Amino acid sequence: MADTTVPYSTGDSKIGETTIGEMRELAARYPEGRSALLPMLHLVQSVEGRITPEGIEACAAVLGLTGAEVSAVATFYTMYKRRPVGDYHVGVCTNTLCAIMGGDLIFERLKEHLDVGNDETTEDGKITLEHLECNAACDYAPVMMVNWEFFDDMTPESATQLVDDLQAGNEVKSPRGATICTWKEAERVLAGFPDGRADEGPTGGKATLAGLRLARERNWTAPAGAQARTTDDSRKED
C-alpha cells in the first residue's frame, strides 16, 4: 500500500527563475494579476508534481498575496494536489449515474488491481487513482479520466486494460482523440502554455450532440416564449 503521509516540503523544490518568470507572464495576462492564481498553481504542479510550500510562496511573492491566501485557494479546489501525483492521474467517476452504471465496480476493481486506495499512487509512481464526482459527461457513463481527458462507456475490463497500458508505457488515446501525455505536461497546458494539440479529436461526442442532431433533422426550434426577457421588459410588467 502506498505511503499516505503528506510531505510538507521535499527540500528539493524545482521552482526557480524560469518558473518565476512564467508566473509573472501569467499574471501580466490579466488586468488584475491575482486573477492568474489558478493557472499559476497549475504551473506549480507542472514543475513540482504537486502544490509545494515553495510553490505557494512563489505565487504569493509574484502576486503580492500572503502564503495563507494562496494556501486557502490551493486547498479549496480538488484539482490541486498536496501529495505527489504519479505520471498519470486516473479518475473514476463515482457520482450517482456513473456509479449505478458501473463506476463503483470499476473503482473497486482498480483499487484491487493497482493495490492502492483513493488518492494514492502506485509503488512504481505511474498512477494516482482518485474517485471523482460528476465529470459532466453523464451521457457516456460510466466515465473515467486520465489527466482530465475523457474515457467513455468504461467497463472493469477496459479500465484494467487502460491502466495496464499506462503502466507499460504504451501510447494511449482518449476515445475523443487526445493522446495522453503525462500529468505534469497536462498541468502545463492547464496553466496556459499550449502544447499545440488542443484540436486532436472532436470537441463534442455523438451522445452529447444527439439532441442537436435530432432537432436539426426535424427542424425543431425553441418556442418563442422560452426566449429570455430583458430585465426592462419584466420591470414594465411589474
Is the CB of 38 or the CB of 138 nearer to ligand FES?
Answer: 138
Output the nine-digit C-alpha cell for 175. 476515445
Closest distance to ligand FES from the beta carbon of 41 (Å):
24
Is the CB of 96 or the CB of 170 nearer to ligand FES?
Answer: 96
Closest distance to ligand FES from the beta carbon of 141 (Å):
5
Is the CB of 108 or the CB of 123 nearer to ligand FES?
Answer: 108
3-state secondary structure 220-231: CCCCHHHCCCCH
Phi/psi for 178 (5° steps) reads -70, 135
Closest distance to ligand FES from the beta carbon of 112 (Å):
21
Cβ-contact 189, 199 below 8 angstroms: no
Distance CA 207, CA 137 (A): 9
Listed residue (108, 140, 107) closest to 207, CA to CA: 140
Locate cell 524560469: which residue?
18
Is the CB of 48 or the CB of 130 nearer to ligand FES?
Answer: 130
Closest distance to ligand FES from the beta carbon of 147 (Å):
17
Is the CB of 106 or the CB of 137 nearer to ligand FES?
Answer: 137
Closest distance to ligand FES from the beta carbon of 108 (Å):
16
Q: Are strands 127-132 and 88-93 parallel, antiparallel or unpaired?
A: parallel
Output the nine-digit C-alpha cell for 143. 466515465
Closest distance to ligand FES from the beta carbon of 139 (Å):
8
Is the CB of 73 or the CB of 93 nearer to ligand FES?
Answer: 93
R_g over Cα of the chain: 21
Closest distance to ligand FES from the beta carbon of 148 (Å):
13
128 Cβ neighbours under 8 A, 6+ residues apart: 81, 83, 85, 86, 88, 89, 90, 116, 119, 120, 121, 122, 183
Which residues of this protein are in contact with ligand FES, per CB under 6 A? 93, 95-98, 134-135, 137-138, 141, 143
Instruction: Tell me how many degrees the CA angle 134-191-50 measures, rounded to the nearest 5.
Output: 75
Is the CB of 156 or the CB of 192 nearer to ligand FES?
Answer: 156
